[in-house]
Amino acid sequence: MVMGELVYDVDVVVLGGGPGGYTAAIRAADLGMEVMVVESRPTLGGVCLTEGCIPSKTLINAVGLVENIKNSEKMGLVSKGVELDTDKLRQWIQTIVDNLSTGIATLLENRDIEVVHGHARFIEDHKIYVDGTNTNIRFKHAIIATGSRINELPAGIDLPLWTSATALKLPEIPKSLLVIGGGYIGLEIGQAYAGLGSQVTMAEYNPKFLSGADQDLVNVVIKKCQEQFSAIHTGSKVTGIKKIKTGYLVTFEKNKKIFNGEFNKILVATGRRPNTDDLGLDVLGIQVDKRGLIATDDQCRTIKKHIFAVGDITKGPALAHKASREGKVAAEVIAGHFSAFDNVAVPAVLFTNPEIAWTGITETKAKEKNIPFKKGKFPLTALGRAKSMGKTRGFVKIIADPESLLILGVGIAGEHASELISEGTLAIEMGATLEDLIVTVHPHPTFSESMMEAAEMAANGSVHLLKRKDNA
């Protein structure tokens, strides 16, 4: 032992303090175990809190308020020259993030969970070493929750391009912004900057946006983007970026045709990769697949019985709520509980404008897998609450098993989709049938009524549509 070296002995060590990690740590401590968390960032909360979910949604909310106010003129709202003070907004976002991060730190502190800040690596089967702190932690069980990071730019491009993390810090509102990558992060931030006043151009390599999602949902957003953005280039490849005085000169290739564009700033949102390459996994004999993901069973256990993995580093959607649920499962399994990640439906939410969300099986997947289904689709134009708020874009659709009428999937585009989707998820997890949704009283006038209406449409046609579908 080297002088000044610290050695801890714990029941559980958690690598990473994001939603997967801190949730696991709290649960494990509550179940009576001695727990330590290693986090390489100076603060807790992971990507989600520092540069993901929370700052992006805080920004999107503020931008949405501006649009709402502007759109409310027809309701008699008098608002001349509504402006956003970006300095204040930046501060507001930071306050929220700091606040929540301190909150997490307090939660851990209250449970006597020690947090070590530094990069952790496995050095033995039951031991990690934390870089920079000269700390060794011997553990009975480890939970790996190291999350993901932004894909590096292709080699050779050495330019100060923006990532989602940069954009969320609001360094400036560029006059023109090119967003490369039309995934949910690109769409969300692209729309936010359009709302802040940037002329946004979107470039997506694939011919379609979000090809795994149902295109009828995606189209609701794309339609709005077409109104907001200066240009949308799908099926387009960025083949060159050159620094010029005003910003960048970008070369695109689409259908073998080359064209150029000039932009003040470029946001690269081309995906993320799991943080599994520098963990010392080879010491444990744990391998990652070609995407860098660690294989786990439904108890979040890796091939090593005492090592668990949760969050963005395991298969499944890279979303915070999936990470935190897995974190709980891992902690419970370690405590000897019969827990498992056996969820049938993990909701996906895009905080775009309008929001879209889906849960359970998508229509696309059902068709691909030849799963028979019955569908009900209820447009928000037929909903009183949506009309009164001037938010009639979008729809709710429900797909159900044609025989048992069990609800298999729900897709929502429109205002409050992010909130409404949970009713669908609960319905699927509980094995609810269309009838269950139909006979449940939904408050009036609310957006939630659209769930009931869509279920009724799927069953036999809704009472609020002019034409009744008789054999839907």
Partner 1 sequence: MFEFKLPDLGEGIHEGELLKWYVKEGDTISEDDPLCDMETDKAAVTIPSPRTGVIIRLTGNPGDTIQVNQVLVVIDEDFKESSIQQIKTIKEVGPEPETKKIAAPATRRLAREMKIDINAVTGTGSAGKVTKEDLEQYEAGKKDVKQEEPGAYTEVSLEGSSNNGTIPFLEIDRLPDYEKSGPVEKESIRSLRKKTAIKTTSSTILVPHVAHMDECDVTELENLRKTFNSTKEKAGNLTLLSFVIKAVSSLLKSYPEFNAGIDPHKMEIVYKKYYNIGFAADTPRGLIVPVINNADQKSVAAIASHLVSLSNKGRDGTITAPELTNGTFTITNVGAIGGTGVVPIINYPESAILGLGRVIKKPIVKDDKIIIGLMLPITLCFDHRIADGVRAALFVRDLKQMLENPMVFMTGV
Bridge partners (DSSP) listed for residue 130 = 120, 135
The single residue among 77, 430, 439, 463 that binds partner 1, judged by CB under 8 A, is 430
From the list partner 1, ligand FAD, none, partner contacted by residue 19 (C-beta under 5 to 8 A by kind): ligand FAD
Q: Residue 466 burial by CB count (10 A; 0-12/13-18/19+): exposed, middle or buried?
A: exposed
Task: Select 137 or 333, whichever has its Cβ closest to partner 1.
Answer: 333
Task: Select 254 or 337, whichever has its Cβ closest to partner 1.
Answer: 337
Which is nearest to 373 in space by CA: 397, 351, 357?
397
Radius of gyration of the chain (CA): 24
From the list partner 1, ligand FAD, none, partner contacted by residue 41 (C-beta under 5 to 8 A by kind): ligand FAD
- In angstroms, give the least distance from the CB of 216 to partner 1: 26
Which is nearest to 144 in space by CA: 342, 7, 296?
296
From the list ligand FAD, partner 1, none, partner contacted by residue 320 (C-beta under 5 to 8 A by kind): ligand FAD
Bridge partners (DSSP) listed for residue 36 = 13, 114
Task: Select 51 or 332, whichever has its Cβ closest to partner 1.
Answer: 332
- The rounded distance, in Å, linking the Cα atoms of 345 and 467 is 32
Per DSSP, 301 falls in state B
354: cis peptide before it, omega within 30°?
Answer: yes
Per DSSP, 406 falls in state B
Task: Select 355 or 363, whichever has its Cβ closest to ligand FAD.
Answer: 355
From the list partner 1, ligand FAD, none, partner contacted by residue 343 (C-beta under 5 to 8 A by kind): partner 1
- The rounded distance, in Å, linking the Cα atoms of 374 and 336 is 41
- Cβ 142 vs Cβ 134: under 8 Å: no
Task: Select 123 or 344, whichever has its Cβ closest to partner 1.
Answer: 344
Beta strands in 314-355 (DSSP E): 348-350
Query: Interaction with partner 1 in 364-423: which residues (CB under 8 A)?
Result: 401, 404-406
- Cβ 139 vs Cβ 127: under 8 Å: yes
Residue count of the chain, please give it: 472
Side chain identity, residue 63: V
For the chain, give the longest Cα–Cα distance.
81
The single residue among 302, 392, 433, 462 that binds partner 1, judged by CB under 8 A, is 433
Query: Interaction with partner 1 in 336-355: which residues (CB under 8 A)?
Result: 337-340, 342-343
- In angstroms, give the least distance from the CB of 435 to partner 1: 8
Binding site for ligand FAD (CB under 6 A): 15-21, 38-41, 46-48, 52-53, 56-57, 119-120, 145-148, 164, 185, 275, 279, 311-312, 318-321, 323, 351
Task: Select 124 or 262, whichever has its Cβ closest to ligand FAD.
Answer: 124
Side chain identity, residue 394: G
> What H or E segment, with its residue span, contains residue 257?
strand 257-263
Close Cβ partners of 92 (under 8 Å, ≥ 6 residues apart): 58, 62
Query: Interaction with partner 1 in 308-337: which residues (CB under 8 A)?
Result: 337
- In angstroms, give the least distance from the CB of 23 to ligand FAD: 8
- In angstroms, give the least distance from the CB of 185 to ligand FAD: 5
Interaction of residue 249 with partner 1, rule CB under 8 A: no
Close Cβ partners of 220 (under 8 Å, ≥ 6 residues apart): 354, 356, 393, 394, 395, 413, 414
Known catalytic residue at 464: no
From the list partner 1, ligand FAD, none, partner contacted by residue 145 (C-beta under 5 to 8 A by kind): ligand FAD
Task: Select 330 or 398, whichever has its Cβ closest to ligand FAD.
Answer: 330
Write down the catalytic residue from 126, 141, 337, 444.
444
Close Cβ partners of 435 (under 8 Å, ≥ 6 residues apart): 405, 459
From the list ligand FAD, partner 1, none, partner contacted by residue 15 (C-beta under 5 to 8 A by kind): ligand FAD
Interaction of residue 14 with partner 1, rule CB under 8 A: no
From the list partner 1, ligand FAD, none, partner contacted by residue 113 (C-beta under 5 to 8 A by kind): none
Which is nearest to 376 in space by CA: 434, 447, 443?
434
Task: Select 48 or 334, whichever has its Cβ closest to partner 1.
Answer: 334
Interaction of residue 437 with partner 1, rule CB under 8 A: no
- The rounded distance, in Å, linking the Cα atoms of 200 and 203 is 10
Interaction of residue 439 with partner 1, rule CB under 8 A: no
Q: Which residues are catalytic?
A: 444
Residues near partner 1 (CB under 8 A): 337-340, 342-343, 401, 404-406, 429-431, 433, 436
